[in-house]
Amino acid sequence: MRTQYLLFVLIIALTSCHLGNNKSDAFGNFEAVEIQVSSEVQGKITELKFEEGLHVQKGQVILTIDTTQLYLKKLQMNAQMNSTGARLLQILSQIAVQDEQKKSLNREQKRIDKLVSANAVPSKQLDDINGQLDVLNSQIAATRIQNQSIAFDIKALQYQIAQIDDQLNKSVIRNPVEGTILEKYVEPGEVVIPGKVLYKVADLSVLRLRAYVSGALLPNIKIGQKVFVFIDKDKDQNQKFEGTVSWISQQAEFTPKIIQTKEERVNLVYAIKVDVSNDGSLKIGMPGEIKF
């Protein structure tokens, strides 16, 4: 009887030891980098090419917003640009005519100056030609100021057209990253404004397990370290994955209430993140365990 009792105690001890070795070192939940794509322009949605759960590529056209008003505004800006360009050509022609007039007056001034020096004509004629040159120089200066002003107007119109082109480009929503549409917030025909969230997308090929470890384990954890991650496969078995530690918090915090018992939740822990390749088994929010 005593021998049977000792054998029973030994089995219990071995079983306890075995269970202790299988105990996980950290617990947490899977998360992904979720991107909320927002509208940068105002208008009515004319085309929507996605649904929740759809896998989309980076740069893929997802949604288009009505651009009629922007297009008409661009036509108006182009018309103003043509009109302003015509004014500029007119001013340049005027400057060319004034330059020729100035050359002619300069030749006449030199001729009269020689005649005055020879006492062949009165000096009043030289005074008159000098006065005409002064008036023409003033007119040329004023015309050149107009020319500069028109050049600034053209530059301003070019900037406005560039802004419209940018808005036209942003009216076609292209997906920023390859991933899966998690949530859709709009429907065709809705009017959106800048800042309106259109949908949420995330790359689910690699999920990140955010878990919490005690300070005693922290010295043995390094960025880039390979670890084993487990999820529930069924009632009695776990599914095993290999993960890589990608982030370690530098600040201690209290364990979140969703982790373990009330007694363990009051202990200070450090958050870590482990990247795990997803074969489709992992889901956002799913609980996971880590064994170092």
Q: Region 49-68: what's the mean pLDDT? A: 96
| Closest-CA residue to 188 (of 39, 45, 40) | 45
pLDDT higher than threshold 80 for residue 12: no
Q: 66-112, pLDDT tens digit by residue? A: 999 999 999 999 999 999 888 888 888 888 888 888 888 888 888 88
Decide: 70 and 162 in contact? Cβ < 8 Å.
no
pLDDT at 18: 38
Q: What is the CATH number of domain 35-65+172-202?
A: 2.40.50.100
Greatest C-alpha distance within the chain: 155
pLDDT higher than threshold 60 for residue 14: no
Check residues 10 and 236 and name the one with the higher pLDDT.
236
Q: Region 46-64: what's the mean pLDDT? A: 96
Task: Give the Cα separation of 37 and 197 in Å (integer).
Answer: 6
Q: 209-232, pLDDT tens digit by residue? A: 999 998 888 888 999 999 999 999
* Percent with pLDDT over 70 in the chain: 88
Could you write out the DSSP letters of every residue in the chain?
Answer: -HHHHHHHHHHHHHHHHHHHHT--SEEEEEE--EEEEE-SS-EEEEEE---TT-EE-TT-EEEEE--HHHHHHHHHHHHHHHHHHHHHHHHHHHHHHHHHHHHHHHHHHHHHHHHHHTTSS-HHHHHHHHHHHHHHHHHHHHHHHHHHHHHHHHHHHHHHHHHHHHHHHHTEEE-SSSEEEEEE---TT-EE-TT-EEEEEE--SEEEEEEEEETTTGGG--TT-EEEEEEE-SSS-EEEEEEEEEEE-SS-EEPPTTSS-HHHHTSEEEEEEEEEE-SS---TT-EEEEE-
Measured CA angle at 43 (ends 75, 177), to 5 deg: 105
Both tokens of 52, joined, read 């929740």
Length of the chain: 292
Could you write out the DSSP letters of every residue in 177-201?
Answer: SSEEEEEE---TT-EE-TT-EEEEE
Both tokens of 162, joined, read 């560039």
Question: Which residues belong to CATH 1.10.287 in the chain?
Answer: 68-170
**Ramachandran area for residue 195 (φ above 0: left; ψ -120 to 50: alpha; else beta):** left
Check residues 140 and 72 and name the one with the higher pLDDT.
72
- Strands 206-214 and 238-248, by their bridges, are unpaired
pTM tops 0.75: no
Task: Give the Cα separation of 214 and 290 in Å (integer).
Answer: 13
Q: 169-194, pLDDT tens digit by residue? A: 999 999 999 999 999 999 999 999 99
φ, ψ of residue 51 in degrees (nearest 5): -135, 160
* Percent with pLDDT over 90 in the chain: 53
Check residues 100 and 199 and name the one with the higher pLDDT.
199
pLDDT band of residue 138 (cuts 50, 70, 90) is confident
Look at the block and give the residue holding tokens 């373990």. 260
Instruction: Mark 21-57 as b/e (b = at least 16 C-beta within 10 Å).
Output: eeeebbbbbbebeebebebbbbbebeebebeeeeebe
Fold entry, domain 68-170: Helix Hairpins (1.10.287)
Question: Which residues belong to CATH 2.40.30.170 in the chain?
Answer: 25-33+203-291
Question: Which residues belong to CATH 2.40.50.100 in the chain?
Answer: 35-65+172-202
CATH for 25-33+203-291, options being 2.60.120.200, 2.130.10.10, 2.40.30.170, 3.40.50.10470: 2.40.30.170
